[in-house]
Amino acid sequence: MSSSFASQLPLAPLGAGDLIDRALRLYRRHLFVLIRTAAPPVIIVAAGWMLLSISMRQIFIVSDRVELFWNVLLMLASFGIMTTGYLLILVIMGGATRTLVAHLLRNDPVTARATYAAVKARFWGLMVASLLVGIFITVILYGSIFGAEIVFFIFVFAAAGLSIIAPIWLIVILYIIGGLVALAVWLWTFFFIVGRVAYVPQIMLVEGKGVFDAIGRSFTLARGNVRRLMAMTLFTTFATLSAVMLLVVFIYIIGSVSGFDATNSAEWPVWYTTSYSIIGPLGSILLTPVWMLGLSLLYVDERVRHEGYDIELMAARQLPEMPEINVSSPLGTALYSMERKQLPPPPRSTGRVLDIR
């Protein structure tokens, strides 16, 4: 991919396929940098999963109450570690978006140091915002699942009422249709609502807004992004599952060669349990950068669609920095400066006393 293609935005808004294609091209161009950027929070998640696997396995085989107590504490600690890791992934996404916008605006190099420097400048605000977003996503997840179950049970009751007079193949088709409709309702409801808070970390680091202002701005900016957000999520999910399946086959082969039944988890040694538990995080390390790039490009594309952000970026490349004036605008800046500008020094005293009489 040429440097000009990577650092310039097209004037036309991008569709779901174009977003995925551009994310993959940027991922291929900056592969190792993006892996280094995404690795630390994913490693924290992997550590949590390893501790959870070990503690869950020990809980069912230990007989001493003291050991059981410590394994339960270890399991609770693993949940805390995993939660922290997932929150840090959301935080890093904001820093990755700022690095991407700086690359588009000034052709700055894409480095892990630049991403983490941006995150460090507003770390605690980003953590609070990520915690609020995480709670919101969890509530919407369970609420959308409950709504999908209601839709599915409607089809179940309809099939039960027709079971007396309808043939069995019609009942099976009705069940299949009910499952597909429930799945569609769940996906659309979940992404329609969650998409409203998808850009909070990006807005904080690109536009310099506070936590609650960024949440309100995200609700305003995220319009019509359901299909593109769903496409990015499903693509990344299926790609991650494919990578994980390859790793699972590989680890099963190693277990079979080692002389124990790899299909029976009760016979797994500790080293095998640990290796098996890091398969998912290892796949996430490889493919989380694609999700980060996709969400960053989606944020930029939203501003291109609604605010002419591509024109603003081109103007920012050619014109000097705008002075800071006390004017409120519903639109965000191209890229706010994170450097604190020092106030001008006070005028020097000449020692003379003015007579104003």
- Please report which residue ranges of the chain form alpha helices under DSSP H: 3-7, 16-29, 31-59, 65-106, 112-121, 123-162, 168-194, 200-206, 211-221, 226-257, 270-277, 279-307, 309-318
Task: Please tell me what DSSP assigns to residue 342.
Answer: P
CA-closest candidate to residue 102, choices 333, 341, 291: 333
Residue 57 inside a domain? The answer is yes
pLDDT at 320 over 80: no
Q: What is the pLDDT of residues 39-84, one digit of tens each?
A: 888 888 878 877 887 788 777 777 777 788 888 888 888 888 888 8
pLDDT of residue 293: 82
Give the total number of structural domains in the chain.
1
pTM listed for this prediction: 0.72
State what percent of residues in the chain have pLDDT above 70.
79
The residue range of the domain holding 289 is 7-312
Specify the residue for token string 């605010």: 307
In a domain, 330, yes or no: no
DSSP string covering 250-308:
HHHHHHHHTTS-TT-GGG--HHHHHHHHTHHHHHHHHHHHHHHHHHHHHHHHHHHHHH-
Q: Do the domain assignments include residue 213?
A: yes
Give domain status of residue 31, yes or no.
yes
Contact 55, 75 (CB under 8 A): yes
Tell me whether residue 303 is in a domain.
yes
Q: Is residue 327 part of a domain?
A: no
pLDDT value of residue 332: 56
pLDDT for position 6: 43
pLDDT surpasses 80 at 186: yes
Q: Establish if 326 belongs to a structural domain.
A: no
Contact between 140 and 194 (Cβ < 8 Å): yes
Structure tokens given for 274: 């640990």
Res 46: pLDDT: 79
Q: What is the pLDDT of residue 310?
A: 66
CA 227 – CA 218 distance, rounded (Å): 17
Q: Which residues contact 79 (CB under 8 A, 6 or more apart)?
A: 48, 52
Contacts of 336 (CB under 8 A, 6+ apart): 206, 207, 208
pLDDT at res. 110: 81
**Phi, psi at residue 110, to the nearest 5°?**
-85, 105
Radius of gyration of the chain from Cα atoms?
Answer: 26
Alpha carbon of residue 96 to chain centroid: 11
